Amino acid sequence: MSVILASSSPFRKALLKKLGIDFETVSPNINEEREKYESPFELVKRLAEQKAIEVSKFHSGLVIGSDQVATLGSGMNIDDKIFTKPGSHDNAVFQLKNCSGKTVTFLTGLTLLNTKTKKIQVHVEKYKVTFKKLTESEILNYLKKEDALNCAGSFKSEGLGIALFKNMEGNDPNSLIGLPVIELIKMLAKENVHIL
């Protein structure tokens, strides 16, 4: 059965490639806006499912959907602020100043949809990152050395962003990059796709 990654993210694609399975990528066309009264947790769960369902309308196989947000809260409350991709240098500086000395919770929604059986598996992975107290020069030096404008929270944990952290807490550091690989391996095994 073919595996389809419902994402245009080069980061998710690189993580899935490490598993050594054949797959194709298809970019889902959905509205990713947060709904009123939706917690960050509910948002990533819904968007991961929607991405998989949207792609399954046109492709058959095992469809992987994923979505991620970063928040200063627990992610369970509707008033938890979400950090999006900064898009500009000034927004990235602002985000990193906000994160300085604080713990940021990353929530990554994951869905595996079997288009043949209609079986759907859904999971939300939580990962916490505590930032060091950052000086303005550290923030500016970081943004000068690494292009993190297309990353939620304005950093790349797989790159130099690791230098911004005091500590990390969670089950799967891959989820910071956008795909909880440990959980995905379990989901694939339930569909008789074994990595080893």
Instruction: Tell me how far apart the alpha carbons of residues 181 and 23 are, in angstroms, rounded to a whole number.
Output: 15
Identify the pLDDT of residue 16.
Answer: 95
Instruction: Tell me how far apart the alpha carbons of residues 186 and 11 are, in angstroms, rounded to a whole number.
Output: 20
Identify the pLDDT of residue 45.
Answer: 97
Identify the pLDDT of residue 66.
Answer: 96
Which domain CATH number covers 138? 3.90.950.10
Mean of pLDDT values over 177-189: 95
Nearest to 11 by CA among 152, 130, 166, 189: 152
Work out how many domains the chain is built from and give that number.
1
- Count the Cβ atoms, other than its own, within 10 Å of residue 185: 15
Among this protein's residues, is 90 annotated catalytic?
no
Distance of CA 58 to the CA centre of its chain: 24
* Residue 61 located in a structural domain: yes
Mean of pLDDT values over 153-159: 81
* Residue 195 located in a structural domain: no
- The two three-digit tokens of residue 133, written as one number: 């107290």
- Is residue 82 within 8 A of residue 42, CB to CB? The reply is no
* Residue 196 located in a structural domain: no
Mean of pLDDT values over 12-20: 94
pLDDT at 53 over 90: yes
* Residue 77 located in a structural domain: yes
Identify the pLDDT of residue 157.
Answer: 80
Mean of pLDDT values over 115-125: 97
SS3 annotation, 85-129: CCCCHHHHHHHHHHHCCCEEEEEEEEEEEECCCCCEEEEEEEEEE
Buried b (16+ CB within 10 A) or exposed e, 133-144: ebeeeebeebbe
Instruction: Tell me how far apart the alpha carbons of residues 66 and 5 are, in angstroms, rounded to a whole number.
Output: 9
Asked which of 32-36, 121-125, 127-131, 140-144 is least confident by mean pLDDT, the reply is 32-36
Q: 129 — phi, psi (to 5°)?
A: -125, 125
* Residue 113 located in a structural domain: yes
* Residue 161 located in a structural domain: yes
Sign of the CA dihedral with 31 first, then 113, 81, and 167 last: negative
Identify the pLDDT of residue 159.
Answer: 81
- Is residue 106 within 8 A of residue 41, CB to CB? The reply is no
Buried b (16+ CB within 10 A) or exposed e, 99-124: bbeeebbbbbbbbbbbbeeeebbbbb
Identify the pLDDT of residue 177.
Answer: 87
Residue of 67, 79, 80, 172 marked active site: 67
Q: How confident is the model at residue 52 (pLDDT cuts 50, 70, 90)?
A: very high
Domain containing 12 equals 3-190
* Residue 65 located in a structural domain: yes
Identify the pLDDT of residue 65.
Answer: 98
Average pLDDT, the chain: 93
